[in-house]
Amino acid sequence: MSTTPDRARIRLRSISSRAYEHPADRGALVALRSLRGFDEVFKRLSGLFNERALRLMFLAGAVRVNERQFPDVHDYVRDAAYVLDLDRVPELYIQMNPQPNAMAIGSSRPFIVMTTGLFDLLDAEEQRFVVGHEVGHILSGHAVYRTMLLALIRLAARVAWIPLGYVGLRAIVAALEEWYRKSELSCDRAGLLASQNPEAAKRALMKMAGGSRLAEMNVDAFLEQAREYDAAEDVRDGFLKLLITQGHTHPFAVIRLAELDRWISDGDYRRILDGDYPRRDTDTDARIGEEARRAAQSYREAWERTSDPLVGTLRDVVGTAASTGGKIFDTVAERWRNGSSARRSG
């Protein structure tokens, strides 16, 4: 079990991941969690990625963090697990790799990997943010569904020669990539809740874009970049943004910082620290249709903020589709639950 953090951070007892998840991420997760048995199917499919083999690989080829190896990072993991109230402190491995990266792997016994490229790039408080981000992925259970995305990407590559099959799979992959990007925004919030240091969180995101020369960068100027990227000059730029986003599982750094800054400014961060957040024992009460409508509302609000001319032509169509999708999810989930109950009683 985790121990008390080394400085006064607020422990968020029994916090549900719904507290920090982006509405589009939360809607998808609530839908999948509500389909009893679906999570087990996904976990079995995650065996395609062979979690045990991966853990053995990192055990053999990386450094496992503990009290004697990277002890400071070990404290960051324990602190994040304490603040976000995890039952088990996940293992963390430092891997020799100049590419800055970190990831949470596995579903039955998740663990974290951080490359030396990222470790060397960040200071102590920025590392706390990144560790908290990955612990957020574990609390949300993202690894199972990310494994599905990886499997579908590999499958799409294998059937690329079948036009209709490939088009159908690419549509599914594109939807999963959009969810994946929103899950990254969710866990930026989790990282902030774990570290409880907004300035360090912003510095970390800036470094991921511009490297270690933080003295040459400015948060306000970086946010101006985000606004300029958002405000496309005409419809062509809107289409180009859609094209360059395809194939990316992470939002661009300026978008991540702008979204985190907005979440703080809207008061959600402070509200959670003050104890106003959903608990895990209420997760089963979450309604799929309501979460889908919240996801639709979040997209509408984002579209109303944006100056991108392409978005204006898509607002009503996608908003209506998302709302309808929520109603459909409600019906499907209800039938799934009723069917499961009938099978158990029979």
Report the amino acid identity of residue 237: D
Report the amino acid identity of residue 320: T
Give the dihedral sign, CA 24/25/28/34.
negative
Which secondary-structure segment (H or E) carries 236?
helix 235-245
Q: Would you put residue 196 in left (φ > 0), alpha (ψ -120 to 50) or beta?
A: left
Pairing of strands 111-115, 102-105: antiparallel
User: How many residues does this entry show for the chain?
Assistant: 346
Q: Would you put residue 264 in left (φ > 0), alpha (ψ -120 to 50) or beta?
A: alpha
Strand locations in 133-220, DSSP E? none
Alpha-carbon span 108 to 160, nearest angstrom: 32
Strand locations in the chain, DSSP E? 63-64, 91-95, 102-105, 111-115
What are the residue numbers of the active site?
Answer: 134
Alpha-carbon span 9 to 195, nearest angstrom: 8
Alpha-carbon span 276 to 255, nearest angstrom: 26
Select from 158, 86, 92 the least CA-distant residue to 119. Answer: 92
Alpha-carbon span 126 to 193, nearest angstrom: 13
